[in-house]
Amino acid sequence: MGSQSIDSQHDGRKKLDVPKHWTGLGLIFTASKHHTMRFLSLLLCLCLGLTAGQLSAQDCSGADHTVLAGNLYFNPADLTVSVGETVAWFNEGGFHDVNGNISAVSGESFGNPEVFSTPAITGEASGVCMGTHTFTVPGTYSYDCSIGSHAASGMVGTITVEAAATGCNDDLACNFDSTATSAADCQYNDGTFDFSSGFWLVPINALDPDLGCDIQPAVGTITTVISEEGQPITVVVDADLETYINGAVADGLLTSLQAILLLSALEQATFSFCGNTMTGIAGLNTIVSEWNGQSWSLGDLGLNLAPVSTLADGCSDPNALNFDPCANPDDTLCEYPAVACDDPLACNYDSTSAGTTDCNYFDTNLFTLGENDFIGLVDDEECESGYPGAYSLPVPLTQDSTGGPLFFILFPDVEGFLVENGFEIAAQDLATVSLSVCDTVMNYNSLVIGDTDLYWDGMGFTVDLYGSFVAPESSFPIGCPDPDACNFDACSHPFVSDACTYIELGAVQTAAGDTGLVTMSELDSLTFVATPGEGLTVEWDSDCGELIVDGNTATLVGPETGDCQVCAEVENADGCEAESCIVVTVLGGIDDPSNAPWQLMPNPAASELRVVWGGETTPFEVFDLNGRRIHTATLQPGSQVLDVSGLKPGLYLAGPQGQAPQRLAIQR
């Protein structure tokens, strides 16, 4: 005979075999006729022997949970189920019921969310179904066996009914339920962290370990986080974030591969934040990190990240007393020591203080105090936009060792040029001015134009009195500052050039192959050779004396003593001109070696400098703009080439010892 089984849910479970043809109170048998009377007699005996409880036995099939009743026990005595689940009770022996209404011990109501019970029934070892109950109201239910003193002897139980599991089948979610069939109720942020202000994202290699914090805002960036109810959390990858990441690569804080993987991961990833665990899914890759009290670390991608809300607000100014490099920047919280600066010219002037110990005369992010500065006329037709850097003069802005007001270095050559060209007032002004630069204002105080304010116009400061500008070198684009080049750019930096393009014209040289600077006697003649590009005709010119021209060659005869030039000029069909000159020193008698003539070429120079010297052997000296000697070489009489490749690009003063130095520009 076939049977079906019901498993109990307690330790040492028993299997109850119920005949398939058992239906309620009767037995249905299929038997041969000669056994019919015997079966009827047996059925009658069984029916007469059944108790009233057995006659009303329930159908326990299909229940979600099973509780066994027996000799003064319910097993399990404490059971937890979900709303909508059904519990079945089976009696393994004795006469018991299930009473979830009035306590058999106290006589008072259990106060259950809803009443439930099963009738009393006699059990047997194989288990007899006492009944079932489907719990639809969450809460804690108490019950007992009300027969005799069973409850008082400990035959009691509780059932805790929990709300139904949420419908979330996304294993990324905090409330993932493997039995759910929907993601409608998924939660991806359990509220442990607040993402409303975004993330701090900081390259690990940018951190200063001495500060002791994983998030240092000064070297990080904030990214927007999208956190919506029922949706995975995402990070916004915008142009600002891409620029920051690319900058971190340029600074060596991230590798190119890390940057590519990071941007790709952030664009694709969806995150959940459950307790202290951050989980991200980006394609087939999973990112998991545990909160360490300060951040989540993505070591493979070289980053730490943390919600902005987890950092306290603090002062980000290193000059403040309460500087906090690990806090969200809020400089309204900064506290500063008392300032000793009673100079109205200073950026941090304090009328209540005394002394100038703490005065600051340069407080701007527009340019640096260490870079070169240039002065020139604002109105220049060849520079349609910006300032004509190619025609400007160097006037470095500097400060003395005491940290006092700023001033300009006025080189003798610059002063002489200004005076010779009718700008003596500008030269006097530059020589007497003391100033400060505070944000976008240059506080200008000179003996010529008095105390005035000059305002940053995007490139520099304009001095209206003599129609000029003062601008730092960082304001000039790198271009071609050579007026002789085909791509001359008047707005470009005067000392640093991009690739200038020229008509093809080789350097003028002597028939012996000398270039740059040559010497000759006033009694000699000297032949020069030019090598123009194809299709170009040379025009010769010289202030040295008579030239005998023969196509691409010219011979100088009868020169006058002193320094002069022989030049070859060409022009193409587009009007682009080129000129190449050679400097000729025509030597006569030299009575006083201390006044010996000398020249240097080319200027600007790159790595070699030709010097023509008419005196005795002497040191050749190079000074920086602060008057420090930084290079020396031995200078022999005549023409020689000096190696200046060790000098950095910039402006210098150079010349034979004892002679007035000349301005030397090193340009590469």
Q: What is the pLDDT of residues 5-54, one digit of tens each?
A: 334 333 433 333 433 333 333 333 333 444 444 444 433 333 334 444 44
* Domain span including residue 568: 502-589
Same domain for 415 and 321: no
Q: Please give the Cα distance from 259 to 253 (Å, whole number).
A: 10
Q: Within 13 Å of residue 521, how many CA atoms lie on the same side as its CB?
A: 3
Instruction: Give me the helix-helix angle, 256-268 and 239-250, nearest 10°.
Output: 160
pLDDT of residue 48: 38
Last residue of a domain, one of 531, 563, 589: 589
pLDDT of residue 8: 38
Same domain for 325 and 211: yes
Q: Within 13 Å of residue 341, how many CA atoms lie on the same side as its CB?
A: 17
pLDDT of residue 449: 87
Same domain for 187 and 272: yes
Same domain for 278 and 346: no
Same domain for 551 and 605: no
Same domain for 333 and 377: no
- 99: domain CATH number is 2.60.40.420
Start-to-end CA span in the chain (Å)? 105
Identify any residues that bridge with 87 across adjacent strands, giving them in sequence order.
65, 133
Same domain for 331 and 395: no
Residue 95 has which token pair? 């006469």
DSSP state of 660: P
Point out the residues of the chain with pLDDT beneath 70: 1-57, 164-166, 588-596, 626
Last residue of a domain, one of 100, 133, 162: 162
Q: Please give the Cα distance from 40 to 649 (Å, whole number).
A: 122
Same domain for 429 and 357: yes
Same domain for 113 and 137: yes
Q: Give the residue from 633, 565, 643, 575 showing the smallest Cα distance to 607.
A: 643
Give how far the C-alpha of residue 415 lies from the chain's centroid of Cα atoms, to the nearest Å.
Answer: 46
- 555: domain CATH number is 2.60.40.10
Report pTM.
0.38
Same domain for 155 and 31: yes
pLDDT of residue 166: 65
Last residue of a domain, one of 566, 589, 612: 589
Instruction: Give me the helix-helix angle, 412-420 and 424-432, nearest 10°.
Output: 150
Residue 344 has which token pair? 């109205």
What domain count does the chain have? 5
Same domain for 565 and 605: no
SS (H, E, C) 501-542: CCCCECCCEECCCCECEEEEECCCCEEEECCECCCCCCEEEE
pLDDT of residue 165: 60
Same domain for 519 and 483: no
